[in-house]
Amino acid sequence: MPIRAGFELSLLQILFALGFASAAFAAGANGPIAQHQQLTWEHDAPWFGGLSGVEMRADGKQLTAISDRGRIIVADLSRDALGTLTGIEIIHSVALRDKNGAVMDKPEADAEGLAIAPDGSIFISYEGDHRIARTNLADGTPLQFIAPPEGALLRDNAGFEALAVDATGALYALPEDNRGDQIPLYKYQDGTWRIAAYLENDSPFVPVGADFDDEGRLYLLERTVTPLGFRTRLRRIELSGDQASAVTLLQTLPARYDNLEALTVWRDAIGRTRVMMISDDNFLSVQETQVIELTITQ
């Protein structure tokens, strides 16, 4: 989601927030996160930025990402012998298109969630004109449209930002705007939407990214905005029938990271669960496209 004007950080506020940075990685201290890497992704093209969804190839050496200004990209990743990320090179980029094949503009182009099914099908959720589209990676054209479930709370600039697909190919979506004490987890399978479970809505954090690991556990990236900067929370959710139990893996204080919105989970060559998160820079010079990689040990 593009963050709209509503606050500005003064230099004093930024310095104050940065003073908390060393304490912000709370869940990582003697917790489930054993390794942390952070780098800034730069690319010299006017369309680069606003990354809001990402999926990793199983070997951790290639990613697919979407921009909230209507673009899908594929990039190769360079890693050293220990699997540490050393470089990112875009190898494919194409504008997303409407049903008539025309390049989209705002608000229709506001792509937010990305999920790739086991059969390779690519699904993208959009805000502005709320919908999910199965998409052709080669030329960015839609192959199928899925209307949102009836009754879903999908407001302007706050739709299905968190989109994931499980091992059976079922789609899961969470709306960003949740004003009750529960967050509905919607499931789409065999042409029908239903509510698979409810998650407790116990904080100012809202869902912005989601992905399943190879054990069927749902990882949920959440964000909130404060006058001191962005805060991030990462939770892992176990689904059993219509019940959901969550554990917090990461929760930061303001300004530890930029506007993290994109999430992907995979298992590396030595069996470790790896998480990548990418920030949406809102195409602003005061922000950046951060790439965060975590290794989960529990």
Condensed to tens digits (0 to 9), the pLDDT of residues 36-66 reads 899 999 999 999 999 999 999 999 999 999 9
| Site of tokens 């909230």 | 68
**pLDDT at residue 159, as a whole number:** 74
Bridge partners of 125, per DSSP, are 113, 132
**pLDDT at residue 34, as a whole number:** 81
| pTM of the predicted structure, to 2 decimals | 0.89
Bridge partners of 44, per DSSP, are none
**pLDDT at residue 1, as a whole number:** 53
pLDDT digits (tens, 9 = 90+) for 121-160: 999 999 988 999 999 999 999 999 999 988 776 777 667 8
Exposed / middle / buried, residue 13 (Cβ in 10 Å: 0-12, 13-18, 19+): middle
**Percent of the chain at pLDDT exceeding 70:** 88
CB under 8 A, 24+ apart: contacts of 103-108: 103/70, 104/70, 105/70, 106/69, 108/70
Exposed / middle / buried, residue 119 (Cβ in 10 Å: 0-12, 13-18, 19+): exposed
* Mean per-residue pLDDT, 269-277: 94
Bridge partners of 78, per DSSP, are 87
**CB under 8 Å to 276, separation ≥6 — which residues?**
54, 56, 63, 262, 263, 264, 265, 291, 292, 293, 294
Closest C-alpha among 151, 138, 160, 171 to residue 68: 160
**pLDDT at residue 176, as a whole number:** 82
pLDDT digits (tens, 9 = 90+) for 237-254: 999 999 999 999 999 999
Give the whole-angstrom CA distance, residue 216 versus residue 145: 26
pLDDT digits (tens, 9 = 90+) for 153-212: 677 766 789 999 999 999 999 988 767 788 999 999 999 999 999 998 888 999 999 999
